[in-house]
Chain A
Amino acid sequence: MFSAVANVLRGIGHRVVDNLWRFGASMRFFLYVLIYSGESFRRLHLTIREIYFTGVLSLIIILVSAFFVGMVLALQGYNTLQRYGSSEAIGVLVALSLVRELGPVVTALLFAGRAGTAITAEIGLMKATEQLSAMEMMAVSPVARVVAPRFWAGVFSMPLLAALFSMVGVLGGYLVAVPLIGVDAGAFWSQMQASVDFREDIVNGVIKSVVFGIACTFIALFEGFDAPPTAEGVSRATTRTVVNSSLAVLGLDFVMTSFMIVA
């Protein structure tokens, strides 16, 4: 009896220690990324190349999703708002939900699925095929050469992608609300402009997307770097990237929103 309870406790303790150890290792890794950033900036074309792979190639999925999200928001919003005779407020609804929440959050989730998994799989495979060890043998730091450019590319791309998401989403909402449903275009834009605040809404959205960019890219990089160098290990690491990034994004979103709304 006693030994069974002790075993359960031991199991929990083992997991806690394991996770703590991993967390500590990831923070050390984060510090390394920051330290080697300067070195990687001297070869800026590496970062630009990664911006192409993480940012530019994610554009299609981000823009198409944004367009549909905006259109669905307008349809659903209109359906409810017209019951209260305030269908002109649809612009406010679409813009505020996109700029404050959906823009940064959905972009980050899509980014984790589209770019995060690619980063993890690539780095995991580099490790499995001993390319990273080969670099170290040639006195090239893999963190400076491989990791830091990807990190800064992700941090740079995310706010731009989120801004594009919000803008295209608003356009999608406009297309549904004004030509399709017949809401007055003037009321749509003017009510939107009256209620969306630059500092409170737009800047806060950008802050959120920068934080999500750091979180998503870093999780993808660490999982890749930490993956066991086997096919199974890489596949598990890729799964963990998506799960952990999504949870981190949603959790951080709650924390940041609660600070932003109170302040």
Chain B
Amino acid sequence: MERTTIDLWVGIFAAAGAAALFGLALKVGNFNSATMGETYSVTGAFENIGSLKPRAPVKSAGVVVGRVDNIRFDPETYEALVTVKVDKRYPFPKDTFANIYTAGLLGEQYIGLEAGGDEKMLQNGDKFSKTQDAVVLEKMISQFLYSKASESNDTKEAD
């Protein structure tokens, strides 16, 4: 076969392969959100983070605004320190509420931010003043059972 024809086909092959890689990165993968623009990091202390993982999404009003950067254990307060990176485009007030939610009943856990009313904005390295822990299903069930039991005791005493 003519050398130029071979060159042409190999060129098409290489271009198609590169296009497929780009397609995988952009259309199938999360290359867009992985390379967020500039971020600022904020730390929050939680008593229980459930099964929150690094790189879990940080959402506000359901929109992904950042990612969990790292999770450490603080041996002095016995709390989990979660550092999140939030996109610089989305400033949040100082009194923003950080909650750990679960997507669906058994889905992955993420951090939900509820904006407060403070005029000052969170800066890089700040701490969330108000946090709410992950809901632990076993704890909730035992509380529910406990309250049910005490309720039935109350009704018995009333009789």
Contact = CB atoms under 8 A, between A and B. Distances in A.
B34 to A, nearest CB: 5
B74 interface: no
Given A193-B30, A196-B30, A202 B13 contact: no
Interface string B1-40: 1010011011011101110110111011111111000000
A183 interface: no
A166 B34 CA distance: 20
B28 A196 contact: yes
A55 interface: yes
Contacts of A48: 6-7, 10
Contacts of B12: 56
Contacts of A196: 28-30
Interface string B51-74: 000010100000000000000000
B21 A55 contact: no
A167 interface: yes
Contacts of B33: 193
Chain A contact residues: helix, strand, loop or mixed: helix
Nearest to B23: A167
A59 B30 CA distance: 27
Given A45-B3, A163-B17, A163-B20, A192 B28 contact: yes
A55 B9 CA distance: 10
Given A99-B24, A167-B24, A202-B25, A161 B17 contact: yes
Contact of A56 (B9, B27, B30): B9
B25 A198 contact: yes
Nearest to B57: A194
B34 A49 contact: no
Nearest to B5: A52
A55 B30 contact: no
Contact of A202 (B6, B17, B18, B29): B29
Interface in A121-170: 157, 159-161, 163-164, 166-168, 170
Contact of A51 (B13, B23, B57): B13
Interface of A: 45, 48-49, 51-52, 55-56, 59, 95, 99, 157, 159-161, 163-164, 166-168, 170, 189, 192-194, 196-199, 201-202, 206
